[in-house]
Structure 1
Amino acid sequence: MQTITRSYDTYDQAESVVRKLKDIGVVDSDISFVGRRADVDGENHAGEGAGVGGLIGGAAGLLAGLGLIAIPGIGPVVAAGWLAATAAGAATGAVAGGLVGALTKSGVDQQDAHYYAEAVRRGGSVVAVRANEEQAPAIVAVMDGATPIDAVDRRTTYEREGWTQFDPEAPPYVRPPI
């Protein structure tokens, strides 16, 4: 098995990817989702996460166990799947560096894991899928067809801003006004 991971600027993009993965036959137990949902004015609201998660999980039946967890340095996120379970750890719902550890444990390169955690910190969403060699091309086609963030370009942008790696002690990220 390999882990195929992509990040998306919006929660809606990632949600669409999960739906399409289900449509091509990827089972819930192989899909993980971690994301932040922004409302209309661009502010993240922790209390809305659980409601949004219930909407996705309940209405579409996409992922078992979709819920709200808190990740230091990121804050509350809507998460589901094996990645979320690993990131949440025991039963605390808040594990320092949990997302980086969960990603590396699943086979994602450490540098990439730091990037994905930072992408979520900055308001994005991550979808990770466990795939066998046979499934991988179709999964990649779905994930890449949804216009994921170009990880190399985005990491370069972060580094120009002084970022070196995900910091679970960092204050919540506030997007600059457009």
Structure 2
Amino acid sequence: MTQTLTGLFDHYDDAKRAVERLEEAGVPHSDISVVASNADGAHGEGAATAAGEDATTGAGIGATVGGIGGLLAGLGLLVIPGVGPVVAAGWLGATIIGAIGGGAVGAAAGGLVGGLTHSGVPENDAHVYAEGVRRGGSLITARVDEALTSKAQDILKSGNSVDIAERAAAYRNSGWTRFDETAPAYTSTQVVDERNRFERA
């Protein structure tokens, strides 16, 4: 039996280390997904809406690249409504690309919220995760066997990960209620300001 686990990170480098630790712990990279903001252009410019046959088969972006970090070697650029430019890899990234490519991105789902809730993430949390990516974060979503659940949870809750309940409260205190796919994407400057806001907190 598998469980879907998530972790949100303000900085991509922290998410990257968490992915590497998950793989070292025995979670196959084909069961790990990364969706990370590219509002600051750190991963390159432009937006690709095709990810080769991986997207159409659901195998996942980068799923055929072997070894530790293989998943991250397959990052692909795309734009998610309401989130803006992101890099994505893995099964969730392929799901989002398939939805965008097929014109199936639904209202209020923006691809990301719908993909998360479909995989078992509670809807309220999915909205916070999507907003976190919109504001410059990096989201890891992993399908983990029961035997590795405890270790994987520890990995995703350490290494400068975001406390989702605290972040949700901070968003709501500023007037946010839920992820809105019609909201404007964050600019590079806004992303830097957002990261600095929580680092000072």
Q: Same fold (TM over 0.5)?
A: yes
SS in 1 for 2:91: helix
Partner of 1:44: 40
Deviation readout 1:128-156 (Å, 9 max, x if unpaired): 11012111011112222213101111111
TM (norm. structure 1) is 0.84
Partner of 2:92: 83
Shift in Å at residue 4 of structure 1? Answer: 0.5
Can you give the 5+ residue segments of structure 1 that lack an aligned partner in the other structure? 38-42
Q: Which range is displaced more, 67-76 or 139-148?
A: 139-148
Superposition RMSD in Å: 2.7
Letter in 2 for 1:22: E
Can you give the 5+ residue segments of structure 2 that lack an aligned partner in the other structure? 47-60, 197-201
Q: Is the 8 A contact 2:37 2:138 kept in 1?
A: yes
Mapped to 1, the partners of 2:43 and 2:150 lie a distance apart of: 37
Query: What is the 5 A alignment of 1:10-25?
Result: 10-25=11-26
Partner of 2:83: 74
- What is the aligned length? 169
Letter in 2 for 1:77: V
Deviation readout 1:100-128 (Å, 9 max, x if unpaired): 00000100000000000000000001001
Deviation readout 1:16-64 (Å, 9 max, x if unpaired): 1111111112111110100024xxxxx61287168xx99xx79942357
Partner of 2:142: 129
Mapped to 1, the partners of 2:155 and 2:45 lie a distance apart of: 25
Is 2:184 aligned against 1:171?
A: yes
Do the aligned partners of residues 111 and 77 (structure 1) sit closer, same or farther apart at CA in structure 2, a change above 3 Å counting?
A: same
Query: What is the 5 A alignment of 1:2-13?
Result: 2-13=3-14
Is 2:169 aligned against 1:156?
A: yes
Letter in 1 for 2:70: G
Q: Which range is displaced more, 138-147 or 25-34?
A: 138-147
Identity across the alignment (%):
47
Q: Is the 8 A contact 2:30 2:71 kept in 1?
A: no
Q: Which range is displaced more, 88-97 or 9-18?
A: 88-97
TM (norm. structure 2) is 0.75
Mapped to 1, the partners of 2:36 and 2:16 lie a distance apart of: 9
Mapped to 2, the partners of 1:47 and 1:143 lie a distance apart of: 22
Mapped to 2, the partners of 1:47 and 1:15 lie a distance apart of: 13
Mapped to 1, the partners of 2:126 and 2:45 lie a distance apart of: 23
